[in-house]
Structure 1
Amino acid sequence: MQCQQLFTFALSSVFCYHFPRFHSLWIAMMIAVFIGQLAQNFHYLGDLLAGADIGILSTQLAIYFSQKVNR
């Protein structure tokens, strides 16, 4: 289930980058998934934080390197 957390946060980060107008919606989606999985005891808090960090970091790195390559 950790992959789901990574995917959700990575996808939301990409949407925040490409559609900044809906930034609040993407952040709300991240928080809703986080709270939902924590409330249903699917994951420990540390698992969720690690998944969120890795998902967001990998997306930011991908955006950074794609901008470097496309210049």
Structure 2
Amino acid sequence: MSLFFEGWVYIFEFKMLDKKLSPGNALAQIKAKGYGEKYMEEAEMLCFVGVEFCKKDRNIKSFLWELQEKNTD
């Protein structure tokens, strides 16, 4: 999911954790699959947000974020 706000682009990835997945996979997927690449020209700043839910508790288990500045090269 992508959200545009005042020159910033927020890219969210949501995951349901089970026994096989450890926290941090949602944020890692955003970076590994290059979800932010198509917004690099128009965004002043990219904010990647990985949100992971516990299947058993039905609540947020992990919330990680990372900023990536626009490439000015």
TM-score (norm 2): 0.35
When the two structures are superposed, what TM-score results if normalisation uses the length of structure 1?
0.35
Higher RCO (CA < 8 A, seq sep 6+): 1
Identify, as 1 or 2, the structure richer in strand: 2
